[in-house]
């Protein structure tokens, strides 16, 4: 068997392969080759880790031999020797997988210490305290990680000694105390493992390597990979980095810390970080001492600070990315111990992207790719004011982005009650259920103590665009006492709290928030995205204000304008009702004639706002009953009317009756007599009877119109065909509005879209109507009125008949909300309220298909429709106007199946623009479409 190379010196790793060396190993190798001061060492590969697991958790046979060979080289380079009493070498043994998993796996420091090397260390440093401190840290870490002795047993010993000696902090312990602790630690290890603590450094090294490998399958690491969906393709096994120890705790010319090459909070181009003088790295992490801002190093260690500045430049010029690096200063010498790409918030990513392009560190494409559409979302929501310095009282899961403040209430009914009084409310529950939905409506945000990012609360809140923190387990709710308890803080019902659903944080009181802002840097970045993308981006907008806003946010047209929204305005609804309930053709015509100018002026304003760009207007879509009062409401009103009617009859006689009973009332009856006269008048005019009759009529009509399943009933084009006057009026309003503006010299591009179409015959019928209206309008205005004509594709049959539909249609627009309902045979409301959360939890469905486009089912139908549609009409314009249009993954899918544009709500436009650019840039990486369906994808020929 050809032996595999399992060990690479840092300077030796030629092709820097993160998968093989892990992120940390690759970084150390790369920095070594760049000439940065990395302590010498070597990396044991992830491949060795995989062998370890294939081989019953035993190291590959040749491994320790290979380690020995490389150890020699490190010894030569450092002039020190592992296990030597005169000049001992010490190592850190550090894990590192291809994907960084901060804090999930273990690091052992000071390896190589034993009774003999300890003496050497004391001699070299002339600092017994330091040496014993290093030793006790090593025994503890090694004992815990490699030998499985419980940490708390070590802590017990430490604490007992502290108590005995009156030491408050670890630093109050002197050398003799620490020496004593070491002795006790060694005794503890022997007692628990049955054998003495291993003295031989090579044995220590072997055990440490094995321990790091084992930690890969530790619960912590496995949970982390599961939570963040780290698959074996992304990271398989951990590497082990064996790195010469350098000591930041060798006096006041020593230090340790962590730095960023730029400020990860703001993106400002300055060295950013923290350090501690005379300390070891773990002190910074453990929070035992409070570190100082790196800027103080300028005065305290000016030479090192200059080197840090130089390092910052070198790292960025090499990695072309902001770096997050660890460093240690040993007796005035700087060492770099780790580097990786810095994690930044969205704001910082935007600023650094823009500035790094100006500095020629990266190109525009890279700049655009650095900002993930999901991260951009952070910037588009309300956030906690970045100047706010307070700390959260609890942290849960970031389940739905945005920040919100309100009075804490503990059930949905109370939320509704308090909300109706005009107060802001945060609904706080252990978990939410479908019957809490009214509480969601009344709340600014939702906070739950249980449940993950796919819990009911999370899914519903995201659907409503409300902030949500879920799974906040530190919080306990006492429903009887009507309070919530976090640690030792009690939050009484009605007290203000603030949640930040982008970070999962909970704050006490009303924390200041800032509205989303699109700053200049972001605008630049979006402009670059526009230059890259080939997919069009339009907005869904129903009003001229919406259109103006959409245009500002970069919309290249309106992909969906819903005319029914205009029908709901308070001054229109009565006319709309009249139109619907009209008993005769003439009556209906009257109502419609009243609506025409209103719609015409609506369209005019929208067209004007969008001059030069296409505007797709959808003809009336929802079932008519949506505009009518419900039968229950009507029946209730009718009942009241009848009661009044009966009351009137008795009241006519009331004053006579009273006079009869007691003549002394005669004096005080003047007012009543007046009322009675009025009542008689009402009765004579039969006002009450008329009202009752009218109400009866309405009720009867409403009942007539009632449908068992209105969403599948008399709506959309079906309605247009049965009540042609309505569609005719809308078409006329569209074309006349266009005509009037064209006369003003504007470039108007109306697109008339028909909803709910399932057969080409429907579309042809409406098309004839449009032609007829166009002819009349052109004659009236004496100009040509251009228009495009198209159909929604939101019915399964329409997908199947796309070839025929394209004979009539200039464009298709996928209505993926309805198409998703139709494909799954789910009604959205019922699904989201009743079973989807559970489906997501159980992984029966990965996502909510109403949020994340189901590419395997709905997407496949779309592909068929596109294929067949374009066979008939190669230049067929095809868009998507469901809510999915603004979802990054759906945008990517839309791009790859060849859609012409996506249309989304105005606030999501920046996300769609960015996602479309990403889709274009990522196109090269993947084979088209295969990603979306593992089955071979064949489209039957027509
Ligand atoms: P993590 O992956 O959790 O960042 P590391 O392997 O980076 O763990 O080790 C944790 C800390 O241990 C480092 O931040 C550093 O301060 C310290 N450390 C690791 N290796 C060395 C070394 N060779 N010399 C000095 N300190 C080290
Ligand atoms: Mg580290
Ligand atoms: Mg629809």
What would the DSSP string read from start to end of 187-217? HHHHHHHSSPPP--HHHHHHHHHHHHHHHTT
546, two tokens: 């919406």
Per residue in 167-189, pLDDT (tens digit) is 887 778 899 999 999 999 999 99
Phi-psi region of 332 (alpha: psi -120 to 50; beta: other; left: phi over 0): left
Q: Are 616 and 559 spatial neighbours (Cβ–Cβ below 8 Å)? A: yes
Please indicate whether residue 281, judged by its CB atom, sits closer than 6 Å to ligand 1.
yes
Cα–Cα distance, 30 to 10 (Å, whole number): 8
What pLDDT, on the 0 to 100 scale, is given for residue 206? 96
What pLDDT, on the 0 to 100 scale, is given for residue 456? 80
Nearest residue by C-alpha to atom 22 in ligand 1: 245
What pLDDT, on the 0 to 100 scale, is given for residue 831? 87
Identify the residue whose tokens are 């009214």.
Answer: 438
Find the 338 Cα to ligand 2 centroid distance in Å.
6
Check if 456 is active-site.
Answer: yes
Q: Are 237 and 97 spatial neighbours (Cβ–Cβ below 8 Å)? A: yes
Find the 316 Cα to ligand 2 centroid distance in Å.
18
- Which parts of the chain have pLDDT scores under 70? 1-2, 15, 103, 283-288, 454, 463-464, 926-942
Nearest residue by C-alpha to atom 9 in ligand 1: 107
Per residue in 803-836, pLDDT (tens digit) is 999 999 999 999 999 999 999 999 887 888 789 8
3-state secondary structure 772-790: HHHHHHHHHHCCCCCCEEE
Find the 281 Cα to ligand 1 centroid distance in Å.
6
Q: What angle do CA 652, 658, 662 make, to 5 degrees?
A: 165
Identify the residue whose tokens are 């052109």.
Answer: 778
Q: Are 470 and 451 spatial neighbours (Cβ–Cβ below 8 Å)? A: yes
Nearest residue by C-alpha to atom 20 in ligand 1: 92
Identify the residue whose tokens are 């820097």.
Answer: 16
Q: Are 404 and 382 spatial neighbours (Cβ–Cβ below 8 Å)? A: yes
Find the 150 Cα to ligand 3 centroid distance in Å.
61
Please indicate whether residue 791, judged by its CB atom, sits closer than 6 Å to ligand 1.
no
Strand partners, 505: 395, 500
In ligand 1, the atom with minimum distance to the C-alpha of 244 is 23
Nearest residue by C-alpha to atom 4 in ligand 1: 102
* H/E stretch holding 933: none
Please indicate whether residue 74, judged by its CB atom, sits closer than 6 Å to ligand 1.
no
CA torsion 50-51-54-59 (nearest 10°) is -120
Q: How big is the chain, counted in residues? A: 942
Cα–Cα distance, 200 to 114 (Å, whole number): 8
What pLDDT, on the 0 to 100 scale, is given for residue 718? 97
Cα–Cα distance, 465 to 402 (Å, whole number): 8
The pTM for the full model equals: 0.79
Of 38, 100, 107, the residue with max ligand 1 atoms within 8 A of its CB, to mutate for a pocket test, comes to: 107
Tell me if residue 60 falls in helix, strand or coil: coil
905, two tokens: 């709500």
């Amino acid at each position: 068997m050809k032996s595999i190379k399992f060990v690479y010196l840092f300077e030796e790793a030629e092709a820097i392969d993160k998968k093989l060396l892990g992120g940390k190993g690759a970084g150390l190798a790369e920095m070594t080759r760049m000439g940065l001061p990395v302590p010498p060492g070597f990396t044991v590969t992830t491949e060795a880790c995989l062998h370890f697991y294939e081989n019953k958790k035993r190291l590959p046979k040749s491994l320790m031999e290979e380690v020995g060979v490389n150890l020699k080289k490190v010894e030569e380079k450092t002039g020190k020797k592992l296990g030597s009493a005169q000049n001992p070498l010490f190592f850190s043994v550090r894990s590192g997988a291809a994907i960084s998993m901060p804090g999930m796996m273990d690091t052992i420091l000071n390896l190589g210490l034993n009774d003999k090397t300890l003496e050497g260390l004391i001699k070299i440093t002339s600092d017994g305290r330091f040496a014993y401190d290093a030793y006790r840290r090593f025994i503890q870490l090694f004992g815990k990680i490699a030998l499985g002795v419980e940490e708390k047993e070590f802590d017990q010993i430490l604490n007992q000694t502290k108590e005995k000696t009156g030491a408050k902090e670890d630093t109050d312990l002197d050398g003799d105390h620490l020496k004593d602790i070491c002795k006790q630690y060694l005794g503890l290890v022997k007692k628990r493992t049955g054998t003495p603590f291993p003295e031989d450094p090579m044995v220590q090294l072997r055990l440490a390597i094995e321990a790091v490998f084992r930690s890969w399958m530790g619960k912590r690491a496995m949970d982390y990979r599961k939570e963040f969906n780290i698959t074996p393709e992304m990271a398989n096994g951990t590497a082990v980095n064996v790195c010469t120890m350098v000591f930041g705790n060798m006096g006041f010319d020593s230090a340790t810390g962590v730095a960023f090459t730029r400020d990860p909070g703001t993106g400002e181009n300055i060295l950013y970080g923290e350090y501690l003088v005379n300390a070891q790295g773990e002190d910074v992490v453990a929070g035992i001492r409070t570190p100082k801002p790196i800027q103080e190093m300028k005065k305290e260690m000016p030479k090192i600070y200059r080197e840090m500045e130089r390092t910052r430049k070198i790292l960025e010029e090499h990695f072309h990315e902001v770096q997050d690096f660890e460093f240690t200063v040993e007796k005035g010498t700087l060492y770099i111990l780790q580097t990786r790409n810095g994690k930044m918030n969205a704001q910082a990513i935007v600023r650094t992207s823009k500035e790094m392009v100006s500095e020629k560190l990266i190109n525009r494409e890279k700049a655009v790719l650095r900002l993930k559409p999901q991260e951009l979302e952070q910037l588009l929501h309300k956030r906690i004011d970045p100047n706010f310095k307070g700390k959260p009282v609890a942290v849960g899961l970031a389940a739905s982005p945005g920040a919100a403040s309100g009075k804490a209430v503990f059930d949905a009914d109370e939320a509704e009650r308090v909300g109706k009084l005009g107060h802001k409310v945060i609904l706080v529950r252990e978990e939410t259920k479908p019957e809490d939905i009214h509480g969601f409506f009344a709340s600014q945000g939702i906070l739950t103590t249980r449940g993950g990012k796919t819990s009911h609360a999370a899914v519903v809140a995201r659907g409503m665009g409300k902030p949500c923190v879920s799974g906040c387990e530190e919080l306990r709710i006492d429903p009887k006492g009507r309070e919530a308890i976090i640690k030792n803080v009690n939050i009484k019902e009605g007290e203000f709290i603030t949640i930040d659903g982008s970070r999962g944080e909970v704050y006490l009181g009303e924390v200041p928030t800032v509205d989303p802002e699109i700053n200049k840097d972001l605008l630049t970045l979006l402009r670059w995205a526009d230059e890259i993308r080939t997919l069009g981006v339009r907005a869904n907008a129903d009003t001229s204000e919406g259109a103006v806003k959409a245009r500002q946010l970069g919309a290249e047209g309106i992909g969906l304008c819903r005319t029914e929204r205009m029908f709901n305005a308070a001054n229109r609804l009565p006319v709309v009702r009249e139109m619907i309930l009209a008993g005769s053709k003439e009556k209906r015509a009257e109502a419609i004639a009243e609506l025409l100018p209103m719609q015409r002026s609506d369209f005019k304003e929208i067209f004007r706002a969008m001059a030069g760009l296409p505007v797709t207007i959808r003809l009336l879509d929802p079932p008519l009953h949506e505009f009518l009062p419900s039968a229950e409401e009507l029946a209730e009103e009718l009942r009241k009317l009848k009661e009044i009617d009966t009351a009137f009859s008795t009241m006519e006689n009331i004053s006579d009756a009273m006079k009869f009973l007691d003549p002394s009332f005669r004096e005080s009856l003047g007012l009543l007599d007046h009322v009675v006269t009025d009542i008689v008048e009402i009765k004579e005019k039969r006002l009450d009877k008329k009202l009752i009759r009218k109400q009866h009529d309405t009720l009867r009509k409403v009942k007539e119109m009632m449908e068992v399943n209105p969403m599948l009933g008399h709506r959309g084009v079906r309605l247009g065909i049965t009540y042609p006057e309505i569609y005719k009026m809308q078409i006329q309003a569209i074309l006349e509005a266009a005509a009037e503006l064209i006369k003003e010299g504007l470039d108007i591009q109306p697109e008339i879209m028909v909803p709910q179409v399932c057969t080409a015959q429907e579309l042809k019928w409406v098309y004839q109507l449009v032609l007829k209206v166009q002819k009349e309008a052109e004659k009236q205005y004496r100009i040509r009125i251009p228009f495009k004509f198209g159909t929604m594709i939101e019915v399964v049959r329409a997908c199947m008949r796309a070839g025929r539909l394209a004979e009539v249609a200039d464009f298709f627009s996928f209505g993926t909300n309805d198409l998703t309902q139709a494909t799954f045979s789910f009604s959205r409301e019922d699904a989201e309220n009743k079973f989807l959360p559970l489906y997501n939890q159980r992984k029966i469905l990965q996502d909510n298909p109403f949020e994340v486009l189901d590419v395997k089912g709905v997407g496949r139908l779309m592909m068929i429709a596109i294929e067949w549609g374009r066979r008939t009409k190669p230049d067929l314009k095809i868009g998507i106007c469901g809510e999915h249009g603004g979802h990054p993954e759906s945008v990517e899918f839309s791009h790859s199946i060849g859609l012409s544009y996506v249309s989304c709500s105005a606030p999501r436009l920046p996300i769609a623009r960015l996602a479309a650019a990403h889709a274009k840039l990522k196109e090269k990486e993947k084979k088209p479409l295969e990603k979306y369906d593992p089955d071979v994808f064949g489209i039957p020929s027509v």
